[in-house]
Structure 1
Amino acid sequence: MINGETITINPDRMADLHNRLAAAAQRDGVLDVAYRVVDSPVGPLLLAATDQGLIRVAYAVEDHDAVLQQLADKVSPRVLQAPGRLDAVARELDEYFTRTRRTFDVQLDWRLAAGFRAAVLHHLPEIGYGQTASYAAVAALAGSPKAVRAVGTACAKNPLPVVVPCHRVVRSDGAMGGYLGGPEAKRLLLDLEAAA
């Protein structure tokens, strides 16, 4: 309401205005983190990217608003919904969920992972589609065979789940183990890959 009058805003016009704002922010170099939310078989996924690449994939259980705030705090406060900048990622995820893609080709921004955690995450794509590896095997791959718990922590804090396949890491006894997106999401991803 402005000056006692109710103002009706056309949703299409608002969407157009938002798209122009996002394009101008990108053009002027003031868009540091672009994001969008996509639907998937494991629920809505928040995708966020910088100029360096995909920086974050987040499940709804992580609270998308909290994830955006963390990105604003750790990367840049210049965060804006700019879906077009994430079209390639959304397309690759869709292809993955329809079993026509087995690996991801998008550029990744690894700055949210450091040290041993980063080493673990960099090795996860070596676990083939439809395969699993134990936490102990991943610890050995990362060069620290005794760091099994640290591998679990690295997987639990993976900023790029699905794309960096921490869901393929299971316990030595074959049990699934924990997963950032929850046990149902991990089971769905493993079953999806096993069925291909």
Structure 2
Amino acid sequence: MSTAHWSTMDTRIGPFTAVVADDGAVLASGWTGEVTELTTLIAPSLAPSELTEKRDLGAVSDAVRRYHAGEIGAVDDIVVRQKSGEFRERAWDALRTVKPGEPVSYAAYATLAGNPAAVRAAAAACAKNAAALFVPCHRVVRTGGALGGFRWGTDVKRWLLDHEAV
């Protein structure tokens, strides 16, 4: 039996909720006040059997507050746990190497993930990313700079990119 904890906090762009395993790893996160929008994103093999609300998630809550206050690198060292196929997991790892203020195209992202021809698979990895912010899928844009999609809305994606712009 595994237990996870969740918390919602107010940010400058709306409520942000994170689901965190007992060991502190982020299982899911995003700009929503509804934890059920996140629990469905967690891979079945990682899904907790028990979920409890906590006012504060320690290092994760601290990192979210610091990020939204302008300390962009605050989320970089937070451990994330996601499961999927080999390419998708490699693609999520690659997302964590995309620097703030330097968004990449989906084609460049596919190359970072190890398969330049897998542009659609790279886009799907962004769409299936459960740990928004900590795995910064918002840093992937269309060729030419158009925003493309984002689970939490293009207004949130635009704010994040502007917030991170150097």
Check whether TM > 0.5.
yes
Structure 2: tracts of 5 or more residues without a match: none
TM-score of the two chains, using structure 1 as the length reference: 0.75
Match of 1:119 in 2: 90
Q: Does 1:46 align with 2:17?
A: yes
Structure 1: tracts of 5 or more residues without a match: 1-29
Is the Cα contact below 8 Å between 1:103 and 1:129 reproduced in 2?
no
Query: Cα distance 1:124–1:70, how it changes in 2: closer, same or farther (>3 A)?
Result: closer
Match of 1:26 in 2: none
Is the Cα contact below 8 Å between 2:2 and 2:50 reproduced in 1?
yes
Is the Cα contact below 8 Å between 1:134 and 1:170 reproduced in 2?
yes
Deviation per residue, 1:142-172 (Å, 9 max, x gap) = 1111111111111111111111111110111
Match of 1:96 among 34, 46, 67: 67
The DSSP-based 3-state class of the residue aligned with 1:126 is coil
TM-score of the two chains, using structure 2 as the length reference: 0.87
Match of 1:132 in 2: 103
Match of 2:31 in 1: 59
Match of 2:52 among 80, 99, 102: 80
Deviation per residue, 1:105-151 (Å, 9 max, x gap) = 2222223x432111111001211111111100110111111111111
Deviation per residue, 1:43-95 (Å, 9 max, x gap) = 2121111134111103328x4324346659651221111234x1211111111
Please tell me whether Structure 1 or Structure 2 has the larger radius of gyration of its CA atoms: 1
Q: Aligned-pair distance for 1:103?
A: 4.6
Root-mean-square deviation (CA, aligned residues, Å) is 2.2
The DSSP-based 3-state class of the residue aligned with 1:60 is coil
Match of 1:142 in 2: 113
**One-letter amino acid of the structure 1 residue matched with residue 78 of structure 2:** V
**One-letter amino acid of the structure 1 residue matched with residue 79 of structure 2:** Q
More divergent stretch after superposition (142-151 vs 69-78): 69-78
Q: Which has the higher strand share?
A: 2
Match of 1:110 in 2: 82
Query: Cα distance 1:70–1:186, how it changes in 2: closer, same or farther (>3 A)?
Result: closer
Match of 1:154 in 2: 125
Q: Which has the higher contact order (CA 8 A, sep 6+)?
A: 2
Match of 1:188 among 156, 159, 165: 159
Q: Aligned-pair distance for 1:174?
A: 1.3
